[in-house]
Amino acid sequence: MTKFLLWLILLVLCWPLALLALILYPFVWLVLLPFRVVGIAVGGVLGLLNAILLLPARVLGGPRRF
């Protein structure tokens, strides 16, 4: 909602720039999509490593977190 309100303000102040932003937004989203996928994959690998490294502490009865 805030992005839309900011776009409306930009539309009032400088409508050519607002229209350019509206046209370029899908292309920027497509260019940044592989970086999001890599970020999700790296987060998953780090979560897996965290679980593997902390497994002995869980098995031995470390402090429980809820």
Q: Tell me the C-alpha distance between 15 and 21, whole Å.
A: 10
| Distances, alpha carbon 25 to alpha carbons 7, 42, 48, 50, in Å | 12, 26, 34, 36
pTM above threshold 0.85: no
Residues 6+ away with beta carbon under 8 Å from 5? none
Q: Is 61 left (phi over 0), alpha (psi -120 to 50) or beta?
A: left
pLDDT band at 60 (very low <50, low <70, confident <90, very high): confident
What are the boundaries of each domain within the chain? Answer: 2-59
Tens digit of each residue's pLDDT (9 = 90 or more) over 19-54: 998 899 999 999 999 999 999 999 999 999 999 999
